[in-house]
């Protein structure tokens, strides 16, 4: 097994991803199952939070839960990038 640096592994992974998406004519259909599963997860969470809510209310709450999830991920990513930038500056 060849030994790759983290940078080389990252480049190899990017190459694989780009090749995979280049071989995909309909990206929406490729990701449909994952999107449906994620939407179902947010809907279930909304129903747990508000058991007596209408379908319209559940849809609104699920939309906000999904937005909050992605905002939380963006914040974690920003913090991670800032920490890495601080490590590079200290090095």
Task: Write the pLDDT tens digit of every residue in 51-64.
Answer: 999 999 999 999 99
Q: What is the pTM of this model?
A: 0.67
CA dihedral 26, 30, 34, 35 (to 10 degrees): 10
50: tokens are 């508000």
pLDDT digits (tens, 9 = 90+) for 10-36: 999 999 999 999 999 999 999 999 999
> Distance between CA atoms of 13 and 7, rounded to whole angstroms?
10
Distance CA 32, CA 87 (A): 39
């Amino acid at each position: 097994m060849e030994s790759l640096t983290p940078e080389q592994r990252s480049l190899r992974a990017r190459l694989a991803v780009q090749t995979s998406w280049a071989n995909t004519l309909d990206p929406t259909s490729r990701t449909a199952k994952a999107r449906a599963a994620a939407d179902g997860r947010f809907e279930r969470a909304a129903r747990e939070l508000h058991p007596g809510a209408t379908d319209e209310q559940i849809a609104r709450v699920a939309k906000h839960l999904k937005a909050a999830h992605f905002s939380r991920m963006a914040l974690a990513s920003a913090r991670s990038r800032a920490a890495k930038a601080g490590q590079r500056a200290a090095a």
